[in-house]
Amino acid sequence: QVQLEESGGGLAQAGGSLRLSCAASGSGLSITYMGWYRQSPGKQRELVARISSVGNANYGDSVKGRFTVSRDKAKNTIDLQMTNLNPEDTGVYYCTVINEGSHYWGQGTQVTVSS
């Protein structure tokens, strides 16, 4: 079983920045991918960014060049630095990991960007 603890998020103005963090815990972790998805009002959940165990990162098209994902493999943590935020970035952001082939999700943290 994997537990995910998310932190960060909150309210920002357009053009501002926020940072999200997520820590995974559990016994015998063997995490391949860690990442962030988001669900905006009226939209399906979408990939924001994910990073593999060897540091290969993928980003959703709408956040490329603005968001940066990083991972501490030893600590099983992932951070998402979000810059140049816009109101379309508003949504619930979910931390996710793939551990031994199983997908785990955090409870989500709200990000609200005002214009």
Give the CA dihedral 9, 32, 47, 13, nearest 10 degrees: 20
Question: What is the tens place of the pLDDT at every residue in 91-115?
Answer: 999 999 999 999 999 999 999 999 9
Cα(2)–Cα(12) distance, integer angstroms: 30
User: What is the reported pLDDT for 54?
Assistant: 93
On the question of pLDDT at 18 being above 90, the answer is yes
- In this prediction, residue 28 has a pLDDT band, given cuts at 50, 70 and 90, of confident
CB atoms within 10 A of CB 101: 7
Rounded to whole angstroms, how far apart are CA atoms 54 and 63? Answer: 21
Separation CA 96–CA 108 (nearest Å)? 10
pLDDT beyond 90 at 6: yes
Task: Please tell me the predicted confidence (pLDDT) of residue 48.
Answer: 98
In this prediction, residue 41 carries a pLDDT of: 87
The tens digit of pLDDT for each residue in 37-91 reads 999 989 999 999 999 999 999 999 999 999 999 999 999 999 999 999 999 999 9
Strands lying side by side in the sheet with 18-25: 3-8, 18-25, 77-82, 67-72
